[in-house]
Amino acid sequence: MKELIEKQKFTGLSAAEVEEINAEISHYEDKSAVSIEALKIVQKYRGWVSDECLIAAAELLDMSPAQLEGVATFYNLIYRQPVGKTVIHYCNSVTCWMLGAEKVRQRLCEHLHVELGEMSDDGAYTVLPIVCLGACDHAPVVMVGKELCLDVIENTVSEILGR
């Protein structure tokens, strides 16, 4: 799977990507303001932002690749390395930590046979820590893709993944 991702030849941003990025541009006083949105749009289609995509997006926004990379590397939700199809974010902030986040992490990693940040062999999952997901009254909390999973206690991990 990893090899597969690397092998896909880059032929420029897709028409859909360019269109979505251009639509965002109209919301701001200046083109480069869209940098973060542009990266997120690319990521929506491709899962992560490769060097080629970053260079192409920079060109679209009249920025240098270095300028866009400076932005990309600041934010933690922009992936500059391949990640699994679904990213599992487990909250490791204070309340979740107190109520068992570490065990949740262990279970997730064991279950998927990955270390944090790695892609599972089938390319389906990557587990990453995330800061407080704003659901502390239901700690510990995990976000699978875009879905928030509440009150995750360790023995429901496989259940979450089944969803």
Partner 1 sequence: MATIEIDGKHYEAQDGQSLLAVCLSFGLNLPYFCWHPAMGSVGACRQCAVLQYQNPEDKRGRLVMACMTPVADAMRISIEAVPASQFRRENIELLMINHPHDCPVCEEGGECHLQDMTEMSGHTFRRYRGQKRTHANQYLGPFINHEMNRCIACYRCVRFYDDYAGGNDLQVFGMHNNVYFGRFEEGALENEFSGNLVEVCPTGVFTDRTFSAHYARKWDLQTAPSVCIHCGLGCNTAPGERYGQLRRIINRYNGEVNGYFLCDRGRFGYGFVNSPERIREPLLDGRSEITPQAAVNYLDNLCQTAKGVIGIGSPRASLEANFALRTLVGEENFFLGLNDIEHTLLSTIFNILRNCGIHTPSLREIEQADAVLIMGEDVTHTAPRLALSLRQSARNATFDLARSLKIAPWQDAAVRELKTQIKTPIFIASVCATRLDDIATDTFHGSPEDIARLGFAIAHRLDDQAPAPELMSDAENSLATAIAAELKQAKCPLIVSGTSCASIAVIQSAYNIAKALPSKDKQLTFTVPECNSLGLAIMGGGRLRQAFERINEGVADSVIVLENDLYRRAHSQTVDLFLQSAAHVVVMDSLRNKTAEQSELLLPTATFAESEGTLVNNEGRAQRYFPVYAVSEPVRGSWQWLTSAMEDSEWRHHDDLTAACAQAFPDLAAIAQVAPGAAYRFKGSKIPRQPERYSGRAAMFANINVREPAPPQDLETPFSFSMEGVTAQVPPALLPVIRAPGWNSNQAVNQFEEGVEGHLRGGDPGMRLIEASGNLAWFNDIPSAFKAEEGQWRIMPLPHIFGSEELSLHSAPIAERRPAPKILLNPLDAQALGVVNGDRLEISRSMETAIATLPVQIETTLPRGLLGVPAILPENQQINNPERVTLKKVAAEAENKPEIFL
Partner 2 sequence: MENLDKPLTRNIRPDRGFATLADYENTGGYQGLRKAVTELQPKEVQQWVKDSGLRGRGGAGFGTGLKWSLVPMGDADSDNPHQIRYVIVNADEMEPGTFKDRLLMEKDPHQLIEGIIITAYAVQSHIAYIFLRGEYHLSARRLETALQEARAKGYLGEHILNSEFNLEIHLHTSAGRYICGEETALINALEGKRANPRAKPPHPVVSGLWGRPTVINNVETLCNVPHIINYGVQWYKELGLSAATGTKLFGASGRVKRPGLWELPMGTPIRDILEEHAGGMQDGYKLRGFLPGGASTDFLLPEHLDVAADFDAVAKVGSRLGTGTMIILDDKTCPVQMVLNLEEFFAQESCGWCTPCRDGLPWTVTLLRDIIKGRGRMEDLDTLAGLVRMMGPGNTFCALAPGAMEPLQSALKYFREDFERYIVGNKTLLEAG
**Mask: binding to partner 1, 17-56, rule CB under 8 A, as x and -?**
------------xx--------------------------
The answer on whether 53 is annotated among ligand-binding residues is no
The answer on whether 149 is annotated among ligand-binding residues is no
> Residue 98 corresponds to which amino acid?
M
The pair phi, psi for residue 5, each rounded to 5°, is: -60, -45
Q: Does 69 bind partner 1 (CB under 8 A)?
A: yes
Q: Residue with structure tokens 């990521």? A: 43
Q: Which of residues 116-155 bind partner 1 (CB under 8 A)?
A: none
Q: Of residues 16, 23, 94, 116, which one binds partner 2 by CB under 8 A?
A: 94
Residues 126, 119 contacting (CB under 8 angstroms): yes
> Residue 128 corresponds to which amino acid?
L
Minimum Å gap between C-beta 153 and partner 1 is: 31
Chain centre distance of CA 81: 10
Cβ-in-10-Å burial (0-12, 13-18, 19+) of 30 comes to exposed
Whole-number Å distance between alpha carbons of 89 and 91 = 6
Q: Does 160 bind partner 2 (CB under 8 A)?
A: no
86-91 vs 125-130, strand pairing mode: parallel
Q: Does 99 bind partner 2 (CB under 8 A)?
A: yes
Q: Which stretch binds partner 2 (CB under 8 A): 5-13, 50-58, 69-77, 112-120?
A: 69-77
Q: Of residues 10, 52, 70, 117, which one binds partner 1 by CB under 8 A?
A: 70
Maximum C-alpha span of the chain: 50
Which residues are at the interface with partner 2 (CB under 8 A)?
27-30, 32-37, 39-40, 70-71, 74-78, 89, 92-95, 97-103, 130-139, 143, 146, 148
